[in-house]
Structure 1
C-alpha cells in the first residue's frame, strides 16, 4: 500500500504548480509582486516535495531497522534464566541509539560435555556483520553437542567463517574481516576450560574480589591467520558455588569519558559485589548504569555483557574433569 501512495502526493504538488502557472492571472504578469508570488508558490511546492521524500525515506529506514532488529533478535535469542545450575543474564548496549544491528554474539548451551559458552565480536556493523554472526552462531549451535573438545569446536567455527567469507566475496578477494571469539566450558564439578581468539578474558567475581579468569595470551582473532595445528583448551580453575563469570566485548573496557579516561570494569564489578550476594541481573544493571554515567550516555562502541553465576549446591562427584590440587584462585568465601 505504501508503494501505491508514494507517487500520489508528488503528483498533486506538481499539478498544483502547473495549474497555478497556467490558470492564475498573477502568474502571467511581469511585475515585482507577481514574481514574488510565483516564487513563493514554487518554493512551497519544492519544500513540500522535499519534506514528503524525507518522510518517505525515514519510514523506509525505520522499517528496515525493525526488520534488521527482528532478525538479530532471532539470532541472539533471549537466554534462559538458568542453564544446568548456572544463573544467566545477558544484555547489549548499542553505541548508536537508532541502530539495532551489531556484530556482538553470545550463546550458552548445556551439553554432555558441560555448559558451553561462546562470546564474540565481529569487526564492523550492519547487515554484513549480522550475516557473520548468523554463520558463527549457526555453526556453534549445530556442533556444540558433537565436538568433545573445545579446540575442535573452535576449528569448526573457523571453517564456517571461512566458508561464509568466501561465499560473500565470491567475485572479489576476501576483505580483512575477523572475529574475536571466546569459547568456555564449565563442567558439572565447576572445572572451567577455555580457548580464546583475540577476545578479552572474562572476569571472575568471587565474594568481593575481582580478577581475570585467565592471564594466558590469546590466539589471534579468527579470520586473520589460520589456527595452529594444536588447540589445547586452557585450564581456568574451578568455578565455586556463588562465583560469577562476566563475559564482555571490548566496547566495555574501551568506553571513555569526556576526558578520555577508560572505563574500569573491575571497579564496577567490585561496586556490584558490595551488595553480595548479588544476582546476575543486578550485576548487569550496575555495570550498564556505570558505563552510561562514565560516557555521559554516549558510548562509542557496541557493548555486550553476559553473566553466569554458579548456583549449584555442590559439585557432581562423577562429573567430567578432575580437581586441581593447586587452586588457581583464592579460597572460596563462605556464604550463608
Structure 2
C-alpha cells in the first residue's frame, strides 16, 4: 500500500524506457549485419589479401599477381554475381597498385591483370546462371512438396476413438515420400487404415502409391465390407500395373462391433501390443498374395477378426524397418524395440523407436520406412458415490425436483428446492444443538417448533 501511495504522489512525467542494448534499432542493426556477413565472401577476400601481403613482403614483381584470379573464382561458388564482381574489382585494383609499385610496365601489367579480369567475368556469369538454376530448383521443390503432402496427408493425433502416430523416412535424397504408403480415414463403417509397400523405387513407385491411396480413400467410404475395399484396390491395380509390379499391404478396420478386422496381402505381419505390454505378431491365418497378383494365383484375401480392448495398440510397418541392417549385417529387431519403448503416448513411442532405428543403421536408411501406431485409450472409470455416514442427509437435486410428478411449473419447482434446502439447514442446526430427531420430524411435517 505504501508503494502505491508513493507512486500516486509522484506527478513527474514518466519517460518511456528505451533499451539501448536490445531495442528495436539494435535488433535491426544486428539482423542487417548478420545478412551482410552471410553474403560477404570472406574467404575470397582473405585469399586476395594473403596474395597481396606475400607480394609486398617478397617484392617479386608480377610473379604473384596472376594468383589474384583465385579470389573471384572462389567467390562464384559461395556468393552471387555482385559479390563476385566486387571481389574481382578488388583483386584488379590491388594488382594494379602492386604492379605500379614494383615498376612493371603498362603493357606487361595489362597482360598480367587480364587473367583476373577474365576470371571475374566468367565467374560472375556462372554465379548468375547458378542462381537462376537454384531458383528454378526451389520452385520445383515447393511443387513437389505440395504434391507429397497431398499424397501422404498428415494424420492427426486423434482419429475417432484412437490415438495415432506416424513416422515416415524416404530413402531417396531430397524426398519426403517414396514407395511406401499409409492412410487412415474415419468412415461411416468405422476407422480404416492401410500401410503398404510398392515394388520398386523412384517416380514409378510414387505413382503406384498415389493410385493405391486414391482408390483406398474412395472405397473406404463406399464399401461396408473391408474385403470389398481390398477388392476394389485389386481391380484398379490389375488395370494399371504391369505384369511384374505389385503392392504388399495390410488393410485394417475397427468396426462398430468393437473388433479389429485385418486383411494381409503379402505384407509383414502387424504387431499387436496388449495392455499388459506383451507384443504379438498378427500372422495371417490364410496367406494372401500381394495386391496386383491375384490373377496369377487365384487366391482371394481372407478377413481376420481380432479382439481389440482398451489399452491395446497395433503397429503397422514396412519392410524398410525390419530389413534395416547394422554394420554387422544384422536385421533390426522391431518387436524387441517396440517392447522397450512402448508407452501410453504413440507419438513418444514412435519417436524413440525411429531414433533407435536410425542409430542402429548408422544414421541413414537405405530403403523407405513407414511406421503407424494405433492405440485405443482406456475409458475413464465412472466416479462412484462414496458411502455416507449415519448423520448425513441427502439433498434433493434440481433434476429430481423437476422430474417429480405433479409439479405445477417452474415456479413451484423452484419453491420446492428452496423449501428442501431450508429444511436440511434447520435440521443440521438442531442436530448441532443435540435436540434429537423429534424436532427434525416437526420441521419435515411443517409444524412450528
TM-score band w.r.t. shorter chain: 0.7 to 0.9
Secondary structure of 2:295's partner? Answer: coil
Q: Would the alpha carbon gap of residues 57 and 216 (structure 1) be closer, same or farther in structure 2, given more than 3 Å must change?
A: farther
TM-fit CA distance, 1:245:
0.3
1:254 counterpart residue number: 323
Q: Which residue of 2 aligns with 1:295?
A: 361
Match of 2:145 in 1: 69
Matched, 1:204 2:272: yes
Q: In the alignment, is the contact (CA less than 8 A) between 1:144 and 1:153 conserved in 2?
A: yes
TM-score, scaled relative to structure 2: 0.55
Q: Is the 8 A contact 2:199 2:205 kept in 1?
A: yes
SS of the counterpart of 1:246? strand
User: Aligned match of 2:189 in 113, 117, 122?
Assistant: 113
Partner residue, 1:195: 263
Is contact 1:197-1:219 (8 Å) kept?
yes
**Aligned runs of 1:1-336 on 2, under 5 Å?**
37-96=113-172, 98-165=174-241, 174=242, 176-206=244-274, 207-216=276-285, 218-224=287-293, 226=295, 229=298, 231-273=300-342, 276=343, 278-311=344-377, 313=379
After superposition, give the CA deviation of every residue in 1:169-214 in whole Å (9 maximum; x if it has no partner). Answer: xxxxx47332222111222344222222222111111122112122
DSSP 3-state at the match of 1:180: strand
Partners of 1:54 and 1:124 in 2: how far apart?
Answer: 33
Matched residues, number: 282
3-state DSSP of counterpart to 1:226: helix
Alpha carbons of 1:227 and 1:197: their partners in 2 closer, same or farther (altered >3 Å)? farther
Higher relative contact order (CA closer than 8 Å, sequence separation 6+): 1
Q: String of CA shifts for 1:203-254, please: whole Å, max 9, x gaps.
A: 1111221121225464332234527555353324211210100011111112
Does the C-alpha gap of structure 1 residues 151 and 43 become closer, same or farther in structure 2, counting only changes over 3 Å? Answer: same
Shift of residue 290 of structure 1? 0.8
- 1:59–1:123 distance in 2 versus 1, CA, 3 Å: farther
Give the structure with the higher percent strand: 1
Contact 2:270–2:315 under 8 Å retained in 1: yes
Give the match for residue 101 of structure 2: none
Secondary structure of 1:242's aligned partner: coil
Aligned with 2:252: secondary structure? strand
Greater percentage in helix: 2
Deviations 1:48-91 (A, max 9, x none): 43343333333322322221111111222222322331211112
Cα distance in 1 for partners of 2:245, 2:131 equals 35
Q: Return the index of the structure with the highest Cα Rg.
A: 2
Structure 1 spans left out of the alignment, 5+ residues = 1-8, 17-30, 166-173, 315-336
Give CA deviations for 1:283-321 in whole Å, capped at 9, x if unaligned: 11111111121122211122111111122649xxxxxxx
> TM-score w.r.t. structure 1 length?
0.72
Equivalent residues of 2:325, 2:332 under 8 A apart? yes
Instruction: Give the root-mean-square deviation of aligned CA atoms.
Output: 3.3
Any unmatched runs of 5+ in structure 2? 1-80, 89-106, 381-449
More displaced 10-residue stretch of structure 1: 244-253 or 94-103:
94-103
Residues 263 and 304 in structure 2, CA contact (< 8 A), matched pair in contact too: no
1:199/1:218 contact within 8 Å kept: no
Q: Structure 1's 45 and 183: CA in aligned 2 closer, same or farther, altered over 3 A? A: same
**TM-aligned CA distance change 1:39 to 1:175, over 3 Å:** farther
